[in-house]
Structure 1
Amino acid sequence: MASSPKPRRKRRIAGIVVSLLFFFLLIAGAGALYLWNGLQPTKKGEPVRIEIPSGTGTIRIAEILEEKGIIRSKEIFTAYLKYKGEGSRFQAGTYDVTPGSTIDEVIAKLNAGETVKAEMIRFTIPEGYTVKQIADKLAEAGYVKADEFLSLEKQAQKFAQNLPAGAEVTGDQLAYNLEGYLFPETYEMKKGSTAEEILERMTKETADKLATIPNLNEQLKSRKMTLHQLLTVASLVEKEAAVPAERPLIAGVIYNRLKADMKLEIDATVQYALGETKDRLFEKDLQVDSPYNTYRNKGLPPGPIASPGLASIQAALEPKASEYLFYVTKKDGSREHLFAKTYAEHLKNIEASKKEASK
């Protein structure tokens, strides 16, 4: 007896369904295997250096990681990031990543910004250094070319935006435009930093240090001074006061002489005008034709003569009140000064200092 067409059709449909299910299971299994394989660590090896530039998107990061053999599949990596809600916290920089790391370990490293520490240079600019001395010191260390540094220094407007209001970095009489605006400090910067980057850093350091002085602008207004004038006085104090405790007193003498309309007659300004440090200044040195020579010109020089430290800036801002108009260095090795109210007293101090030197 022949079988009914309906059971045969049903068996055929059932067979097709089973085949389709098997096919889809095969596809799903293959897909799962592909995903599983793509999520597995690559073969272990030595750390590989990779560079993630600032602003790089996750797709490009995935490409870099695949190119360097850190992940198996950029497509699976980006899909995994979307699934886990990751990628938005990745940080730019240079990384050493070891092949064989899990995807989660790679993600954690990029999130934490575990970058390779850049090789650094370290240099110290002492208080009282001039722009020329700074250029020579950096050149001697091999960090810059002195002439390039000084040429950039002349283009001071590039760096003026780093400095607070009241800074004056241009002027026909200025020997160096950024004199007094390159803060004396120990700096650590990336190896290979350019002269321009060093000048950027140093001018910003000046602004940062000045920002630590409470009510600086109000104090300047009360003294009827500009920032430039303050730094000029501070640089004179820096060069004249070898003993820290004397800084406010020497600042006071400078202000007293300015108020009395006297020439400052500060040796350090002559040294600056000469462009060299001499153990002893002669009469012909005191006649050097320069706007910085305070033996010939009344008032402050056109600008700072060195980089003052914070203590000298504070002394210039808060001088010690006295009636002193003169001082002379003791010759007993202490580097302290003898102070006088009158010229007659000053002459006696000079003689006393000479006697100390002859002992």
Structure 2
Amino acid sequence: MRPRGMALAAAAAVAVLAAGTVAGVRGLSGERPAPAVATGPMTRATGEDAASAAPGRVTAVTVRDGYRLADVLRKLAQASGRPLAEFERAAKDGAALGLPDYAKGSLEGFASPGTYEVAPGRSAQQILADMVKQHRSTADWLGLVEGARRLGRGPRDVMIVASIVQAESSSLADMPKVARTIYNRLDHRPPMMLKMDSPLMYALGKYAVEASDDDLKSRSRYNTYRYHGLPPGPILNPGRDAIEAALRPATGSWLYYVVVDPKTGATKFAGSPAEYETLVKERKRRTRAEQ
């Protein structure tokens, strides 16, 4: 493991699946406002099972926390039997989908996780609009705009942080600490780069846990090893827990975190380079012991 400004905490959270399948990062958050689902006869299907739903039946498809938009669109196309291109076109029309102004016309980050009706005759636009409506409901319930203002940030920035928190956290308990670490690095003087792998993996269309040396050469604005500040937009669609963590980060002076046990995803946080190096050594010892 190369010593870096930040050790990726998603090692235990990211599921790297075969090409053409949907990669889910986290499970569903609890107690989110429930989306509207179909009434009457229904075939419930998720993932690959959705493709086998009986024709003419209403299908309820579950989109879990942490899906990238590209994976969401593939999953919905599979569940509905509609062409993927139809969903891709609909996703580009932010105004028709009812996206909030702070989304800046991009659906990534605002296709809210949940369970949605995929019924015969429902268009891709209608299905995606339901996801945006659910985002608005969750945002209102959590007080996104007001909470962002209290943090001295905009709601878009909070959603970007939430998406990184979703990708980088090995557990729900770690999310507020990861959020605080991100804010501490953003606010640090002199400025610190985030140096996180997950935004770069998003830009490169990869699901790897750690960026390679070649990956780090990327000039993408999502390369937080090259540029200061947040990436240009969300890197996935975060769940309620990640958004809440971004709005209500834990109290602490952490600047680093390390997955000290890759097997369990146990993560520890550090406030200084010396503490960080100690955690890196702990990770190496545990890794050697498990080999």
**TM-score class normalised by the smaller sequence:** 0.7 to 0.9
Residue identity in the other structure for 1:350 = V
Residue 332 of structure 1 deviates from its aligned partner by: 4.3
Query: What residue is the counterpart of 2:67 in the other structure?
Result: 129
Query: What residue is the counterpart of 1:141 in the other structure?
Result: 79
The answer to which of 196-205 and 278-287 deviates more is: 278-287
CA distance in structure 1 between the aligned counterparts of 2:99 and 2:78, rounded to whole angstroms: 27
Give the greater-gyration-radius structure (CA): 1
Query: What residue is the counterpart of 2:160 in the other structure?
Result: 232
- Report how many residues are paired: 232
After TM superposition, list the pairs within 5 Å mapping 1:1-359 onto structure 2: 119-159=57-97, 162-164=98-100, 166-170=101-105, 177-213=106-142, 215-260=143-188, 261-359=191-289
8 Å CA contact retained: 1:234, 1:315? yes
8 Å CA contact retained: 2:87, 2:125? yes
8 Å CA contact retained: 1:180, 1:232? yes
Residue aligned with 1:339, SS: strand
Q: Map Cα deviations across residues 326-353 of structure 1 (whole Å, 9 max, x no partner).
A: 1111234221212111122212211211
Residue 249 of structure 1 deviates from its aligned partner by: 0.4
Name the % identity: 33
Residue 151 of structure 1 deviates from its aligned partner by: 2.2
Structure with a larger share of its residues in helix: 1
Q: Map Cα deviations across residues 83-135 of structure 1 (whole Å, 9 max, x no partner).
A: xxxxxxxxxxxxxxxxxxxxxxxxxxxxxxxxxxx831111111110110111
- Unaligned 5+ runs, structure 1: 1-117, 171-176
Residue aligned with 2:250, SS: coil
Residue 142 of structure 1 deviates from its aligned partner by: 4.4
CA distance in structure 2 between the aligned counterparts of 1:311 and 1:255, rounded to whole angstroms: 17
Q: Which has the higher contact order (CA 8 A, sep 6+)?
A: 2
CA distance in structure 1 between the aligned counterparts of 2:272 and 2:287, rounded to whole angstroms: 23
Residue identity in the other structure for 2:263 = G
In the superposition, the TM-score normalised over structure 2's length comes to 0.75
Residue 267 of structure 1 deviates from its aligned partner by: 1.0
CA distance in structure 2 between the aligned counterparts of 1:332 and 1:315, rounded to whole angstroms: 23
Residue aligned with 1:148, SS: helix
